[in-house]
Amino acid sequence: MAPATDTVTDLRSRIDRVDAELAGLLEERALLAAEIQRHKPVGGFVGRDPGRERALVAAMAHRAPRLGAPRLARIMSAVIEAGLEAAEEEARAPLADR
């Protein structure tokens, strides 16, 4: 096995870059999900589609096998719920605040 050449500082810097990208992607996802909520006849938590969520997690598990479907299901549930909460807060906000 080759010796590791990255220091903890180097690795943390790389994680910081990934986290910054992840934050941007999560914001984009939340904006898209909020737009979808405006088109659904029944939105919010009631309008969740468990079958679609399972398919999403299964597809992600192929790209992130280290995490696997059970962990990704927990992560994506939290992401979906946070996006729904943000969309609901935005929908309740007065127009002047938007």
Distances in whole angstroms, Cα of residue 51 to Cα of each of 4, 48, 89: 42, 9, 26
pTM confidence score: 0.83
Least confident among 2-6, 20-24, 62-66, 69-73: 2-6
Rounded to an integer, what distance in angstroms lies between the CA atom of residue 20 and that of residue 92?
28
Q: What is the pLDDT of residue 79?
A: 97
User: Rounded mean pLDDT of 13-32?
Assistant: 97
**Which two structure tokens, joined as six digits, stand for 73?**
């299901």
- Which domains are delineated in the chain? 8-97 (1.20.59)
| Nearest alpha carbon to residue 86 among 16, 38, 25, 33 | 33
**Which two structure tokens, joined as six digits, stand for 79?**
């992401």
In tens, the pLDDT along 48-72 reads 899 999 999 999 999 999 999 999 9
User: Which burial class, exposed, middle or buried, applies to 72 when counting CB atoms under 10 A from its CB (0-12, 13-18, 19+)?
Assistant: buried
